[in-house]
A and B are shown apart, each in its own frame.
Chain A
Amino acid sequence: MIRKLSLRMLCLLTLSASPWALAGPPSAEMLSYACAGCHGNDGSSVGPSMPSLAGQQKDAFVIAMKEFKSGERPSTVMGRLAKGYTDPEIEAMAGFFAKQKRFLTGQNIQAEKVTRGAALAEKNCSKCHTEEGRTAKEEAGTPILAGQWLKYLQFQSEDYKSGGRKMTKNMGNRVKLLSAEEMDDVAHFYASVK
């Protein structure tokens, strides 16, 4: 965060502007720290429903924020917050959170659901949500799912199934093959991945 006295500041000093006029624009840290009160220390949530942002793919983060902003993606609070940031500010925050290590807290997960979910995920989801959801490939904007909070994944599954949250065509083709119960099994699986 530490920057050297900028030329701009020196110019302003000689103009003797008001003290706040000397400040540089909000840095990635300044913008991102404000999110941690909800999303946890540097974006690692201690749950149980708030999603972790730490280690999220940059493009998935940017697309999520832009879709919150436009209203395309439904949300409880993120739509109202995302409207407060410019596109470059969103890029800066995406860069900040992508660099953070995700710390996982133990979750209450049902083992038999995890077993069923693992097989379903391998068959239907692993093309894009690669390495058991630890990485992402194939389609732009595919998020990391590994270790995400179960309750949050269940909310997303409900929204996908109800049509409230739009999917890409290719993901939709897979999700439609799964029952709500099976989607829940897959959510348990991804939440369990360390």
Chain B
Amino acid sequence: MTLDRRSFLKLLSAGAGAAGLPMIGRAAELMPKTTRRVVVIGGGFGGTIAAKYVRKLDPTIEVVLIEMERNFISCPFSNLYIAGIYDSMASLTIGYDKLTANHGIKMVYDEVTGIDPAAKVVSMKSGTLSYDRLVVSPGVDFRTEEIEGYDAETPHIIPHAWKAGAQSTLLRKQLQDMPDGGNVIISMPLAPYRCPPGPYERSCLIADYLKKHKPKSKVILLDPNPDVVAKKPLFMKAWNDYYKGVFEYVPGSKVTRVDAKTRTVYVEGVEEHKGNVVNLIPSQRAGKIALKADLVGEDKKWCPVNPVTFESTKHKFIHVIGDSCAPPSAVAPMPKSAYSANTHAKVCAMNVVALMNGLETTEMSAINVCYSAISAHESVTVAAVYKVIDGKITPVPGSGGLSPVDFSQTKREHEYGESWLKNILAEMST
């Protein structure tokens, strides 16, 4: 069953006029709850998998997945589209119909605007939904208030392209329209942020594009962090071996002011960088709804959760997974990646089902692998296996690490990376 705002309004107006019909804004229950129900917010890398695995493990539990868009477009590999290596985003796009057909997941296309943890109800524009347990996987929101001059218009002139879709198309078009000799500025976020290697991957692929099409141009990466955050030796080698002359890396450069009209960013408010194309990726925090529902911790940014069940430590019966969550971690926290979100979702679903059936929970076992393209046909990876040690999510000692720095595996890893994306998107949508 599928209900969007439009058909819901139609449904309402069909019976309108009759007395006592609940009004929108007065929180009409969209689907009265008749059985045990899990509601999932966000049909991205985390949410789809949580919804599917709850149904797979216990089909007697009703699962409703709420997503505000009709289609989901993958951020992973969207840099290849931006840099003109992929012609379209078709291979990055999925829909939700088969989740309903194959797994009986009920889809609601709307935006969640509030959560009432005491009443166990979520509210949307079109009405409310009650839950027994709620899984929240809304991705990230941008801390634009930290950049002077950033307003609602800014991303339409200088895109972040950190959520794939229209933003990716805009950045791609700006690169293509840029004259040879123009400069591209990427201003990246402070750690932690979505996809640690992502900005470096983007810098390589844009440099690859410039090398081929605009050799007099240059891409400048402004990094507010003191040093390369992820896959350092691998990106350093790619910059040195492949992109000398078309690429410049400037660490410790925090952009705090922007003038979109002149395409200028200011490091620490003063040092001016003007580009023909500016890709300003603001620093981040948990998705808007997590903040609104008081799921974030003392840092006001990320959501503290139990490392086994991913249940919020702030509100019972609400679980937070994916980019938004911050479980207690040792050595190095799991990166905010699609693979992390995918494995969080499975751990969470298993334990949600266990808790709802009064059974023993199971210790988490999770993986993260991130493929990053360093050129049109080469990729490198970082990998790790995680488990809980002394109450903290910890990489299993001796496991994981980076691809070999001699680039002996890059071509094969690129082929495997493309298959990874196909498989993970198929897992989310079939």
**Cα of A50 to Cα of B415 in the assembled complex, Å:** 9
Would you call A148 an interface residue if the criterion is a C-beta within 8 Å of the partner chain's C-beta atoms?
no
**Contact B362 A27, beta carbon cutoff 8 Å:** yes
- A12-37 interface bits toward B, Cβ cutoff 8 Å, 1 = contact, 0 = none: 00000011111111110111011111
**How distant is B411 from chain A, measured CB to nearest CB, in Å?**
10
Query: Which B residues lie within 8 Å of A76 (CB)?
Result: 381, 403, 409, 412-413, 416
Query: Which B residues lie within 8 Å of A108 (CB)?
Result: none
CB contact between A31 and one of B365, B399, B403 (< 8 Å): that residue: B365
Q: Count the B residues whose beta carbon is within 8 Å of the partner chain — how many? A: 55
Would you call B72 an interface residue if the criterion is a C-beta within 8 Å of the partner chain's C-beta atoms?
no
Q: Which one, A56-64, A77-85, A125-133, A172-180, is touching chain B?
A: A77-85
Query: Which B residues lie within 8 Å of A46 (CB)?
Result: 422-423, 426
Nearest residue in A to B392 (C-beta to C-beta)?
A: A20
Known: A20-B388, A26-B362, A41-B430. Is A34-B346 also a contact (CB below 8 A)? yes
CB contact between B306 and one of A19, A50, A89 (< 8 Å): that residue: A19
Would you call B363 an interface residue if the criterion is a C-beta within 8 Å of the partner chain's C-beta atoms?
yes
Query: Which A residues lie within 8 Å of B391 (CB)?
Result: 18, 20-21
**Contact B342 A37, beta carbon cutoff 8 Å:** yes
Q: Which one, B128-136, B242-250, B272-280, B352-360, is touching chain A?
A: B352-360
Would you call B324 an interface residue if the criterion is a C-beta within 8 Å of the partner chain's C-beta atoms?
no
Query: Which B residues lie within 8 Å of A50 (CB)?
Result: 416, 419-420, 422-423
Extra contacts besides A49-B418, A84-B367, A84-B398 (17): CB < 8 Å: A6-B360, A18-B391, A19-B308, A20-B306, A20-B308, A24-B361, A26-B363, A34-B367, A37-B343, A38-B420, A46-B422, A50-B423, A77-B413, A83-B398, A85-B396, A151-B415, A155-B412
User: 24 A-B contacts, Cβ less than 8 Å apart?
Assistant: A3-B359, A5-B358, A6-B360, A23-B360, A23-B361, A23-B388, A24-B363, A26-B365, A30-B363, A30-B365, A33-B53, A35-B367, A39-B423, A40-B423, A41-B423, A46-B423, A48-B418, A49-B419, A76-B416, A77-B381, A80-B384, A81-B367, A83-B385, A149-B419
**Interface on B for A, CB 8 Å cutoff?**
53, 57, 306-309, 339, 342-343, 346-347, 350-351, 353-354, 357-367, 369, 381, 383-385, 387-388, 391, 395-396, 398-401, 403, 409, 412-413, 415-416, 418-420, 422-424, 426-427, 430
